[in-house]
Amino acid sequence: MLASLRGAPAMLTQPIRLLRGYSLAALRADLIAGASVGVVLLPQSLAFSLLAGLPPTMGLYAAIMASVIGALWGSSSHLHSGPTNTASILTLSVLLPIAAPGSPAFIAAAGLIAVMAGGIRLLMGMARLGVLVNFVSDSVAVGFTAGAGILIMSNQIEPLLNLKLQSSSSLLDTLHFTAVQIGQAHLPSLMLGLGTVGLLLLLPRLQRKLPAVLLSVVAGGAVSWGLGMEALGVKVLGELPHRLPPLATLPALNIHLVGQLANGALALAIIGLVEAVAIARAVASHSRQRLDSNQEFVGQGLANIAAGLFTGYPCSGSFNRSALSYQSGARTGLGNAFSGVFVLTAMFVLAPLISHLPRPVLAGTLIVTAYSMIDRRAMARIWRGARGDTAIMLITLAATLALPLQFAVLIGVLMSLGYYLLKTSAPQVLAVLPDDKFRHWTHQPNTPGCPQLTVVDLLGDLYFGAANHVEESLYDLLMISPQQRFLMLRMHSVQHCDISGIRVLENILRICRERGGGMFLVRVHEPVLRVMRSTGFVQLLGAGAFLSEDDAVETLFHHVLDPAICIYECELRTFRECQELPKRALASGVIVPEVHGPTRPVPELAARALWARLRGADPPLVVDVREPREYRLGHIPEAQLVPLLNILGGPSALPRDRSIILACRSGRRSARAAAHLAACGHANISILQGGMLAWEAAALLEAVDG
């Protein structure tokens, strides 16, 4: 936390980074976009303040302060901060138990809760808690965008048709009320709104660089004025206030009131952040801008603090204004800042003109903007993808249409989190085999594997949520082939392991060792290895069980696996190392003795010690129990070839009165032969320690048969 806060001052210098290298071309684009958004911001701020039970002037002041501060200190070039439907409804619901709407106490509490919610958002940004919004998946953003676009279009039915619809957040209720009153639709308003829609669709086809939104609004206003449509009943914005946002007197020292507002401020802060960042990500999916969630938290926090201090109320990100900012061609966040300046200017300079701006013209503008933000291509892509993503998108879309926006976003986030937990709690545990060219490991469920070694890919983290699933999956794989004694886990996808994961590995290791085998790990990442060291698992498993991926199978093949099984009992050639291995079938009734588990130890003789004895007065008899082809490629001078199959197949012809040293590739077949000879009464038997691999490593003389 302290490390995060050390970098907090840099977040407060965001306006400097925004203005650095700012160009005249960007200024022109941002001015046009700011004017276009400002035309919509002005009436919305008036309407939303009334929805919150507050005077219209508070909406204007909140719009001015939040749009400027949020744009300068946020990271998104298009997220527009200011009064919103969600923030207004939440403010009303939190303050209703405290004071009567419109009363001085109600107004003071609205400003105070804006500062409190802004402070919480600011602290969350400073503490770099923007990671929380990583759970707003693309499916949530696309579903929310589509639902919000449909809602915005439905909310413009009232001004477009000049109806007096009953207030409702439900799409079905809005459509029902519209159907009931459709006979009362105002034709001049409808024609003016549809004309604006048509002009907005036509202008980009003629010239994409034209400020289509601004031109359409100006043209609609000119037509309304020229035809005297206001006198025909077309609704306009109305008179605006004429004063700067005043500094509010907040009851910050009223501890009782602060306590009453604390829970509501926290809810406003969290829900507003989730909604704002979801909107920013939705627009960024079109603009391809990279967002800094922590910086966005800071911008939203400062915007609310400024709004509360200057006689405003809680604000958040607006989807329709953000979409309009993008559609209007804003280059940077200054476009949204200019929208606040436009509202401030309009209150003094353009008030007479803007007060006569027709509401149906603004409705038509928002309808086109909302429709353009429904990303049908992205929805189709998600539909063709994973079922989980499709379900999240559809449920978020449905929740956006049926519930208040803040709950729709939270439902989407919770679904994304649940889907993530579901996926991470059930990682794939796949038995893999080499492909035909021995270059890659692949899951081949219909191909038989090695009877001694199971190779498994762990495709996910080994944490408490996944521990039980991984353990059951590994246990099931081991139970499929009870004769398999060795397990190699490929852990390249395991980025995290906790004590529950260590417990799983210990349980599986115990099963392998009870079978007389063991477990080996490949590509263990350093963070996971640190946990294994600190919990004592490395000591339990043994350092030699951590293998390099490049030579893991080769190491196991030559030093761990039983070559007698490979030669006499297995007909497969699973690994590259098996390709040159001779395969011989055992005669009927011949049994290869087991060498794992509790057995009588057989004396071993090191390679150089054997070399010294061979050069002494009473050299031992060296019996090579490998196959003839292996023997011909290189063997100990004077060694007698007696393949293991011959030793096991009948009475031993080896002398009982002479010291016998058994040799093979690595020592495994020698141990098999020694167990059999000991059972037949041979007493003076030893094994070449490490087999011919150790002999070759000691650079001792070998004989080769041509």
pLDDT digits (tens, 9 = 90+) for 189-204: 899 989 988 988 888 7
Assess whether 644 and 557 both reside in one domain.
no
Q: What is the pLDDT of residue 1?
A: 45
Q: What is the pLDDT of residue 147?
A: 83
pLDDT at 127 over 70: yes
Cα three-residue angle 687-693-694, rounded to 5 degrees: 65
Place of tokens 């094994």: 687
Q: What is the pLDDT of residue 554?
A: 87
Q: What is the pLDDT of residues 391-444, one digit of tens each?
A: 888 988 888 788 766 577 678 778 877 887 888 888 999 999 998 888 889 999
Assess whether 151 and 291 both reside in one domain.
yes
Do 566 and 664 form a contact (C-beta atoms < 8 A)?
Answer: no
Assess whether 381 and 298 both reside in one domain.
yes
Across the range 214-239, mean pLDDT stands at 83
Q: What is the pLDDT of residue 3?
A: 46
Domain range spanning residue 499?
428-561
Q: β-strands 80-82, 316-318: how paired? A: antiparallel
The CATH number for 650's domain is: 3.40.250.10
Q: What is the pLDDT of residue 682?
A: 86
Assess whether 465 and 497 both reside in one domain.
yes
Specify the long-range contacts of residues 102-105, CB closer than 8 Å, at least 24 apart: 102/53, 102/54, 102/55
CA 435, CA 127: separation in Å to the nearest integer? 49
Domain end position, chosen among 505, 539, 561: 561
Number of domains in the chain: 3
Instruction: Name residues whose C-beta falls within 8 Å of residue 409's C-beta, 6 or more positions apart in sequence.
Output: 136, 140, 144, 271, 274, 275, 278, 396
Output Rg (C-alpha) for the chain, integer angstroms.
39
Per-residue HEC secondary structure of 196-211 comes to HHHHHHHHHHHCCCCC
Place of tokens 């090695």: 450
Assess whether 303 and 155 both reside in one domain.
yes
Across the range 642-662, mean pLDDT stands at 84
CA 243, CA 501: separation in Å to the nearest integer? 65
CA 664, CA 627: separation in Å to the nearest integer? 9
Q: What is the pLDDT of residue 134?
A: 64
Per-residue HEC secondary structure of 216-265 comes to HHHHHHHHHHHCCCCCCCCCECCCCCCCCCCCCCCCCCCHHHHHHHHHHH
Q: Is residue 412 part of a domain?
A: yes
Assess whether 548 and 474 both reside in one domain.
yes
Q: What is the pLDDT of residue 593?
A: 53
Do 81 and 299 form a contact (C-beta atoms < 8 A)?
Answer: yes
CA 373, CA 359: separation in Å to the nearest integer? 22
Band of pLDDT at residue 135, cut at 50, 70 and 90 = low
Q: Is residue 363 part of a domain?
A: no
Domain end position, chosen among 535, 561, 587: 561
Nearest C-alpha neighbor of 627 from the set 647, 643, 645, 640: 643
Do 130 and 297 form a contact (C-beta atoms < 8 A)?
Answer: yes
As given in the structure block, the two tokens for residue 94 are 């939190």
Q: β-strands 453-459, 428-434: how paired? A: antiparallel
Band of pLDDT at residue 277, cut at 50, 70 and 90 = confident
Assess whether 487 and 515 both reside in one domain.
yes
Across the range 91-109, mean pLDDT stands at 87
CA 358, CA 360: separation in Å to the nearest integer? 6
Do 368 and 324 form a contact (C-beta atoms < 8 A)?
Answer: no
Across the range 683-691, mean pLDDT stands at 90
CA 56, CA 110: separation in Å to the nearest integer? 13
The CATH number for 481's domain is: 3.30.750.24
Across the range 641-653, mean pLDDT stands at 81
CA 187, CA 658: separation in Å to the nearest integer? 118
Assess whether 409 and 465 both reside in one domain.
no
Instruction: Name residues whose C-beta falls within 8 Å of residue 46's C-beta, 6 or more positions apart in sequence.
Output: 56, 59, 60, 237, 238
Across the range 497-523, mean pLDDT stands at 93
Q: Is residue 572 part of a domain?
A: no
- Helix, strand, or coil here: 374? coil
- Residue 699 carries which DSSP code? T
Burial of 259 (C-beta count, 10 Å sphere; 0-12/13-18/19+): exposed
Q: Is residue 188 part of a domain?
A: no
As given in the structure block, the two tokens for residue 337 are 């800042």
Q: Is residue 676 part of a domain?
A: yes
pLDDT at 364 over 70: yes
Across the range 258-270, mean pLDDT stands at 86
pLDDT at 188 over 50: yes
Do 519 and 512 form a contact (C-beta atoms < 8 A)?
Answer: yes
The DSSP bridge partners found for residue 497 are: 462
**Does 664 participate in catalysis according to the annotation?**
yes
Assess whether 115 and 259 both reside in one domain.
yes
Do 490 and 456 form a contact (C-beta atoms < 8 A)?
Answer: yes
Which of 48-52, 459-463, 576-580, 592-596 shows the lowest mean pLDDT across its residues?
592-596
Assess whether 515 and 610 both reside in one domain.
no
Q: Is residue 352 part of a domain?
A: yes
Assess whether 341 and 439 both reside in one domain.
no
CA 164, CA 204: separation in Å to the nearest integer? 33
Calculate what percentage of the chain has a pLDDT beyond 90.
32
Band of pLDDT at residue 558, cut at 50, 70 and 90 = confident
Calculate what percentage of the chain has a pLDDT beyond 70.
92
Residue of 315, 450, 664, 680 marked active site: 664
Q: Is residue 588 part of a domain?
A: no
Q: What is the pLDDT of residue 6?
A: 55
Domain end position, chosen among 542, 561, 580: 561
CA 28, CA 36: separation in Å to the nearest integer? 13
- Mean pLDDT estimate for the chain: 85
CA 316, CA 86: separation in Å to the nearest integer? 8
Backbone φ and ψ of 255, nearest 5°? -60, -40
Q: Is residue 27 part of a domain?
A: no
Do 510 and 477 form a contact (C-beta atoms < 8 A)?
Answer: no
Q: Which residue has the higher pLDDT, 231 or 519?
A: 519
Assess whether 317 and 389 both reside in one domain.
yes
